[in-house]
């Protein structure tokens, strides 16, 4: 079972991917992890990727696809895998299809932009410990201060509202088209088309996890 998890930044893909991979006993695969592992192991593709990165350039789709193929040949992927953050563009999705890399199921975690902005822009961090708060959902006892040390909390640059909005813009222009691509492919009933399910990404982490597992089991 090869699964793709789709959703905007802040939709909870990382958290849910961890749950799903453990529940189904399949590895969670991210392009970042693959790159680091291949470079460290000095595989042919890893050496090629390192040369590109050392030159300050972006790793091409061809290299990413080669890494995916290399990773899928490893023994822990025999029963499937969960792709985390891949494919990221239509070109990558088309390459998967063209190269005959079968995807069985695609699950979209659906969260409104306004909800994501609220979630992410409300986060506050205690830098020394990594303790996390939310001004609305999990506020500190005293506004702006860590519960244990009384030290000031900070808002990460990635969590600032303007940054979140910019990330969402990039998502909608580059990655959201994958939703139409995979849902349309599934609706066409084409041979080897993956099953497609959309789950609501609101509620508790456990509720969202159960919706995803139910969606996967119904495919």
- Token pair of 82 as six digits: 């969960």
Half-sphere exposure of 43 (CA within 13 A, CB side): 17
In this structure, the strands spanning 132-134 and 123-125 are antiparallel
Answer for the pair 26, 80: CB distance below 8 angstroms, yes or no. yes
Which tokens hold the place of 181? 């691509």
The whole-angstrom separation of Cα 66 and Cα 48 is 10
- Judge whether 30 and 84 are in contact, CB under 8 Å: yes
Residues classed as catalytic = 13, 88, 123, 156, 167
Q: From CA 144, how far away is CA 156, in angstroms rounded?
A: 13
Rounded-to-integer distance, Cα 111 and Cα 76, Å: 31
Distance CA 101, CA 109 (A): 23
Burial 151-176 (b: 16+ CB within 10 A, else e): eebebeeebeeeebeebbeebeeebb
């Amino acid at each position: 079972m090869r699964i793709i998890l789709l959703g905007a930044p802040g939709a909870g893909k990382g958290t849910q991917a961890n749950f799903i991979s453990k529940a189904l006993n399949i590895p969670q695969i991210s392009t970042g992890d693959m790159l680091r592992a291949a470079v460290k192991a000095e595989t042919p593709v890893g050496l090629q990727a390192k040369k590109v990165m050392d030159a300050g350039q972006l790793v091409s789709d061809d290299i990413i696809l080669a890494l995916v193929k290399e990773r899928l040949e490893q023994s822990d992927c025999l029963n499937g895998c969960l792709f985390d953050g891949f494919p990221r563009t239509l070109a990558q999705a088309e390459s998967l299809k063209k190269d005959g890399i079968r995807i069985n199921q695609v699950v979209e975690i659906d969260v409104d932009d306004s909800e994501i902005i609220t979630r992410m822009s409300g986060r506050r961090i205690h830098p020394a410990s990594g303790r996390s708060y939310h001004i609305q959902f999990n506020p500190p006892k005293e506004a702006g201060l860590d519960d244990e040390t009384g030290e000031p909390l900070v808002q990460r640059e990635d969590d600032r509202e303007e940054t979140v909005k910019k990330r969402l813009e990039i998502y909608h222009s580059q990655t959201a088209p994958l939703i139409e691509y995979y849902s349309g492919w599934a609706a066409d009933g084409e041979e080897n088309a993956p099953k497609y399910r959309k789950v609501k990404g609101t509620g508790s982490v456990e509720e969202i996890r159960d919706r995803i597992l139910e969606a996967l089991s119904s495919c």
